[in-house]
Structure 1
Amino acid sequence: MSKKEEQVEIIEPLDIAVRQTNLPQISNFEASLMGLLQKHGLPSQSILVPISQRVAVFNNIGIVVDQVEMERRSTSVYISKFIAAVASGLFDAALNYLWDETISDLRRRVAQYDLSYFYDNAVSNPEKRKKLDNENDLVKIDDNELIHGAREIELISELGFKHLDFIRYMRNWASAAHPNQNEITGLQLVSWLETCIREVISLPLSNIVVEIKRLLSNIKTSSISDPQAKEIAAFFMNLTQDQVNNLASGFYGIYTRTTTDSQTRQNIHNLLPFLWGRVDEKTRQQFGIKYGKFVANNDQDEKTLARQFLDLVSGASYIPDDLRAVEIQAAVENLTAVHWGHNNFYNEPPFARELKRLVGQVKIPKQINHYYVLGLVEVFLTNGNGVAWNAEVVYIELLGKFDPDQALLAILSFDDERISSLLQFTLCQKKFKELLNLMKQKVSSPAVKELIIDIETSGRLDRLRDDHRIREKVDNILRIIA
């Protein structure tokens, strides 16, 4: 065999160097395979990606995979399948295997952290939350809930969340589920592999996340005295607003669980007053809504515990005056759940109409105003792939009922992590501009109108929340209306 006819030279198991001029055997194999398909009358066009694209992956894969510790690498079955699929020219299948490895590892990280804390922050539906207890139940969490929940408790970074959301989108719409593997290039594929490795598989826990994990463990296993609670309170001052809100939600979930022992509840009793002062209004109102759900579902034990939790911080004022707020929030939760599920184009309309029925012509209760607006914006922006036409007519009608305050919330929704992540997709960007047009007529403030113009002329809608100029204008608007 001449030098030109050598097969792929493998220097190290994870350092694969491939030369385009040395691949006649792969080319011959591919030609034979295509001939076999043609012989049996099967499609043979656009089945495998070009060899040059596979070379692009192999020339970079050693550097990327070496970022994973050897012990973890030895169990990465789906990365092996990813490489095998790349070699075969099946990039769509490779993307599926990459996502399987990422989800598998993310579940492992969640299981090693604090499952109850994760479930409390990832799952808003109380009925679904009741069915989630141990590691085996993680399979009941869909991929969208998993990556959002992991972001909520900061197992992944904000940037990592946005990247993973994009890879999830590509996996759903450009993987083996659809015949469009040629849209994926070798450099894109290896870049996504690196993202999953850096943002999930090999990402160490931050010091704050480790401290929260230790605190949650101590709450459940040790007695925390008043003096110790005061010492722990100093740690609360180092938390971001999101971390404070999520920790408070974790406390709420632990406290209202009927299986929680009295010592753990006493620990929360000692700690909560030190944390409550930093919990934002939106989160406090959600605790009142959750209490209302227990009432609506006739969960008497949870209702009593939820009321005790609120009484610890004189939070009875956050309990909704009626159950309408609870019903509307439940309708939004159900709608967003089907929006991100399978066959959403067919499943969304009846849930949209149910939300419309509940909203009616009456003002949205203040406890859920923010949640309602963001939920409606989220479904209106679509999942990035297509418009659920029979549901959109309902969304436009409900958006048309927004008052000026709700319109401002919709305009500023780009500052929400979920909405910001959606804005990296072309269709969602188009729908957000449509949303701005709908909201223009509802606001009169010159500062808000100026902000809308700045948003419309912005080059990257998904980076608005990181634009210091936009950030300054938003802060000024919020100070004016405060």
Structure 2
Amino acid sequence: MSIPTIVVSQTQVAERVDQFTGALVAYLGELGLPTQNVLVPTGERQRVIANLPDVIALIDHAKRGEALYLSKFIAACGAGLFDAALNFVWDETVVHLRKKVARFDLDYFYDSVVTDPARRAKLRDETDLTKIEEWELVRGCLLTGILSEIGYRHLDYIRDMRNWASAAHPNQNDLSGLQLISWLEICIREVIAKEPEAAAIEVKRFLNSIRNSILTEQDAQHIRSGMEHLPPDIVRSLLRTLFGMYTADNTATQVRSNIKLIASKCWGLAPEDARYECGLRFSTFAANGEVTRRTAANEFLTGIGGLGYLPPDTLAVEMAEKVTALYSAHSAFNNFYNEPAHAKNLLAYIPSTGRIPEAIRRSYVKTLVMAKIGNGYGVSGMAIPHYNEMIGRFTEDEFKELVRLPTDREFAARLSLRSCAPNFRSVVQSLVHLTTNQITQAAMNTIIAATDAQVPSLGRDTSFQRIINSY
């Protein structure tokens, strides 16, 4: 005798949620435990339940069977534990991001997101993705084209909310059902049910050819032509990867020959800071006594005419390490507590003249200003004096990088968080009287005059771009 299938309707689920809540609250009372502010009101849970079918419909049936954390998300929503539900939807997103990275190109991803050679050497295969922090995972997916810019902005915000409004903090009642279902929809649209951007697919094809084929000049010409259509951030990551592949100890001779055919084109298209980064890595190999890699780096830079981008001394190398450490501390959990020590260490390397080695000036200004304007939840109070002192030493070269920051996609995303836009305007306002450069003054005044809503989009404003391009 077969057992009949029981189909539970959405209305029945809502009714049983009410019954479960009443029974659980009564049980908690019998145990003498708190019953208030434990579970989200049933009305908020029903908003999630009512919208779930349309949102889940965005996922192919074949993929739904593997979405374990989405089942846990729905269970937590039904139980009234929205803080736990937010954790589950984020966990599902991270799982899918790691799968996309693994299917895409692991070496390219690692080279794009990890700039420390010692740490990069420990990242080899898919299992090492768990060593990448979640903020690095999201940022790396932006840099490699797996995520779109708008997808990155949404996910970075959800990641912040997960850190501040998840089960780690007693504030689940701040989350509404519509917020939760909206974040679920974003994660599904931008990650779970979405394939990588076209630029990422193109780079994957490039790298596969470089690693596994014997390229002819005609083949290389097609790759060089394709590079011209890549966004600057993707070109930056690609150059970093080509340099890393070329200088690796185990790289085959044929792979290096393939890279030589396209390296000059990638170098010419790459932003200045990406070129200086290659010079920094050369200096790092030399400082660490890695003779084989230093020789390969010299060969790479000589072949593309890039030896002029080597840093004049080891100061740039030391400062780069300190900037990276501050950026990591600022982006990670407990940043308000951890930032001051890193800020103090960086300050010790700043000369009294304020002149920063050109090789790391852009990352220095960006990291310092990002820490100074905060992450939307505040600024590290103990680190503020250090930030103020370093910013107070800015010269005209640093001012130029400061006003270019709105054109940086990651920085523009930061400006969309609460309090960050007015904080950025305040930094610019404090420095405008220190420059006599008319272009810099025009750019600064444009930033100061912009509203909180306008500041995050300044980098895409044609009139602002025209000012910046006047340098």
TM category, shorter: over 0.9
Contact 1:421 1:462 in 2 (8 A): no
Q: Which residue of 2 aligns with 1:440?
A: 432
Q: In structure 2, which of residues 353, 357, 367 is the aligned counterpart of residue 375 of structure 1?
A: 367
Q: Which residue of 1 aligns with 2:185?
A: 194
Q: In structure 1, which of residues 378, 393, 399 is the aligned counterpart of residue 385 of structure 2?
A: 393
SS at match of 1:167: helix
Deviations 1:155-182 (A, max 9, x none): 0100000000000000000111111111
Deviations 1:200-254 (A, max 9, x none): 1111233332222122112111111223222322222222322322222221111
Deviation at 1:370, TM superposition (A): 1.1
Correspondence 1:464 to 2:457: yes
Contact 2:446 2:464 in 1 (8 A): no
TM-score, normalisation: structure 1 = 0.91
Contact 1:325 1:368 in 2 (8 A): yes
Amino acid at match of 1:87: G
Q: Distance in 1 between matches of 2:198 and 2:313?
A: 42
Q: In structure 2, which of residues 112, 115, 130 is the aligned counterpart of residue 124 of structure 1?
A: 115
Deviation at 1:9, TM superposition (A): 8.0
Contact 1:436 1:452 in 2 (8 A): yes
Q: Distance in 1 between matches of 2:25 and 2:455?
A: 42
Change in Cα spacing, 1:447 to 1:400, as seen in structure 2 (3 Å) is same
Deviation at 1:420, TM superposition (A): 1.4
Q: In structure 2, which of residues 187, 194, 197 is the aligned counterpart of residue 203 of structure 1?
A: 194
After the TM superposition, which residues 62-211 of structure 1 pair with which residues of structure 2 at under 5 Å, given as runs? 62-211=53-202
Q: In structure 1, which of residues 345, 350, 364 is the aligned counterpart of residue 356 of structure 2?
A: 364
Q: Distance in 1 between matches of 2:32 and 2:441?
A: 61
Deviation at 1:65, TM superposition (A): 0.9
Q: Which residue of 2 aligns with 1:3?
A: none
Amino acid at match of 1:463: P
Q: Distance in 1 between matches of 2:99 and 2:208?
A: 18
Q: Distance in 2 between matches of 1:212 and 1:48?
A: 47
SS at match of 1:441: helix
Q: Distance in 2 between matches of 1:462 and 1:58?
A: 37
Q: Which residue of 2 aligns with 1:317?
A: 308
Change in Cα spacing, 1:314 to 1:181, as seen in structure 2 (3 Å) is same
Contact 2:96 2:191 in 1 (8 A): yes
Contact 2:199 2:234 in 1 (8 A): no
Change in Cα spacing, 1:393 to 1:175, as seen in structure 2 (3 Å) is same
Q: Distance in 2 between matches of 1:162 and 1:131?
A: 29
Deviation at 1:79, TM superposition (A): 0.4
Correspondence 1:276 to 2:257: no
Amino acid at match of 2:117: P
Contact 1:107 1:138 in 2 (8 A): yes
Amino acid at match of 1:476: I
Amino acid at match of 2:260: H
Q: Which residue of 2 aligns with 1:4?
A: none
SS at match of 2:66: coil
Q: Distance in 2 between matches of 1:442 and 1:175?
A: 44
Q: Distance in 2 between matches of 1:155 and 1:23?
A: 37
289-298 vs 184-193, which moves further: 289-298
Percent pairwise identity = 36
Change in Cα spacing, 1:425 to 1:280, as seen in structure 2 (3 Å) is closer
Contact 2:243 2:300 in 1 (8 A): yes
After the TM superposition, which residues 221-240 of structure 1 pair with which residues of structure 2 at under 5 Å, given as runs? 221-240=212-231
Give the aligned length: 464
Q: Distance in 2 between matches of 1:27 and 1:348?
A: 46
Q: Which residue of 2 aligns with 1:409?
A: 401
Change in Cα spacing, 1:253 to 1:313, as seen in structure 2 (3 Å) is same
Deviations 1:123-182 (A, max 9, x none): 112211111010000000000000000100100100000000000000000111111111
Q: In structure 2, which of residues 407, 410, 416 is the aligned counterpart of residue 424 of structure 1?
A: 416
Structure 1 gap segments, 5+ residues each: 1-7, 12-16
